[in-house]
Structure 1
């Protein structure tokens, strides 16, 4: 079974020697700091780019874990995110971001301690730190608000 996540070509070339190790030695592969730029594939073939200080990819569980200054870019859905840690669960098709998480999508934003993104549903689930709250900012289209194009232009009769 071919895993549906993929690493960049340069990263695969650099990890080529690791692949020669017996599978029992691999478990989770820790990727050195200077190689931290992986791309995970979603089912529709659109890439999610993950940048961080440290990343691990486990072929058995198909989980990619990124830790330290995590940045995620998912252009197909106009999502950008930052967190202390991110885990991409390929089989479950979800991404769990934790530690001071900030997500931006189409001008809307969300902050929380843990935010889970369900890829197939396009849905975020946000949880706060203990005794705190989640914060979201949404851009609403309001045709009657001052300054909006339809509010300043004459209405048809």
Structure 2
């Protein structure tokens, strides 16, 4: 018997033995995931012995534990003992993971990679994930790449990350979902130019952490929050066209650190706090914001803050700003600096004259008094 014929017979025997262990027939119509093995069907199957790679094409379906992946091309890398290690699926396959009485996760990407021996999988290229098994409401995650590490309880997304959850939308370069031991989401950490859009506010920071169960939020480094205040109800009928002055007022808050507690509806800001509210500019080391009905109600500044408005600057131990009606109170060693502006006298229109024209002498532009 020639060596080439012997090799072909040996390869055929190897494939037959492999098929008995891990493959379902290509004609099998139903696939039931089994924790003890991997079941694969395809229109065409082949095995590359030197590379220890199993190749499937055309109507590929792979079922493993509670996972099911479908596509039109896949490659499975084997170890030296002939056990499947890594499965790569190409040409935008779909991944589905079903947890009975819990929910269903769906992932779509240009490439899906499943680490069969590690309970880890990921996707590359225009990835869209609908994750319904980790929280009370589904996460919709879009990014360039995603990885799901069930052993270490981490879901990672990178590159143009967009996350939708309970009416809020987040954007960042990187996002990590940290899980509890039971597999439920504990917190989501957004980093690299993070931004979160909510019903009437937008938060930007280098790093933003959201606690999934409580809804609490922490923003760190170069934090800016924009809040759109609701319009106050008017006792008279609104005109058909709303004037610009009746539009919601915006409050802009910048600081080094901000923290929001949902249960008490309170937000705190610290470190180089600056607040812009209409013609108010308030600065100080610390501020507390009390919300009411999903709207900003009062602002408490402490640590010797200063508030500036047209014509005066006020410094005190504590300043309280109310938004409806708009007002502020300063308490504790209050210091007020009034500024008045005297404009120079206007000259009459120039008229032809024989001699040179003489202008009025300029008056001082500002006079300040300190109390």
Partner of 2:124: 32
Q: Is 1:43 paired with 2:139? A: no
1:146 alignment counterpart: none
Find 1:18's aligned residue among 114, 132, 146: 114
CA–CA distance in structure 1, aligned partners of residues 140 and 170 of structure 2 = 11
Residue in 2 that maps onto 1:141: 230
Q: What is the TM-score with the length of structure 2 in the denominator? A: 0.32
Shift of residue 62, structure 1, vs aligned partner:
2.2
Residue deviations 1:43-77 (CA, integer Å, cap 9, x gap)? 32x21111100111101122110000000111xx2
Is the 1:6–1:38 contact (alpha carbons within 8 Å) kept by the matching residues of 2?
A: no
- Residues 65 and 5 of structure 1, relative CA distance in 2, 3 Å threshold: farther
Indicate whether 1:67 and 2:165 are aligned.
no
Give 1:27 shift.
6.2
Q: C-alpha distance in 1, partners of 2:195/2:103?
A: 24
Contact 2:114 2:120 in 1 (8 A): no
- The structure 1 residue matched to 2:198, chosen from 83, 105, 108, is 105
Structure 1 residues 100 and 122, CA gap change in structure 2 (3 angstroms) = same
TM-score (norm 1): 0.71
**What residue is the counterpart of 2:174 in the other structure?**
85
| d(CA) in 2 for partners of 1:29, 1:18 | 4
Corresponding residue pairs, total: 132
- Counterpart in the other structure of 2:298: none
Bigger radius of gyration among the two: 2
Structure with higher strand content: 2
Partner of 2:210: 117
In structure 2, runs of 5+ residues without a counterpart are 1-98, 238-371
- Structure with greater helix percent: 1
- In the alignment, the residues of structure 2 paired with residue 18 and residue 112 of structure 1 have an alpha-carbon distance, to the nearest angstrom, of 34
Measured in 1, the distance between the counterparts of 2:150 and 2:104 equals: 11
Provide the C-alpha distance between the structure 1 equivalents of 2:223 and 2:236, rounded to a whole number of angstroms: 37
Aligned mates of 2:122, 2:190 — CA distance in 1: 19
| Cα distance between partner residues in 1 of 2:174 and 2:139 | 15
- Distance of aligned partners of 1:53 and 1:29 in 2 relative to their CA distance in 1, 3 Å threshold: same
CA RMSD of aligned residues (A): 2.8
Cα offset for 1:107?
Answer: 2.6
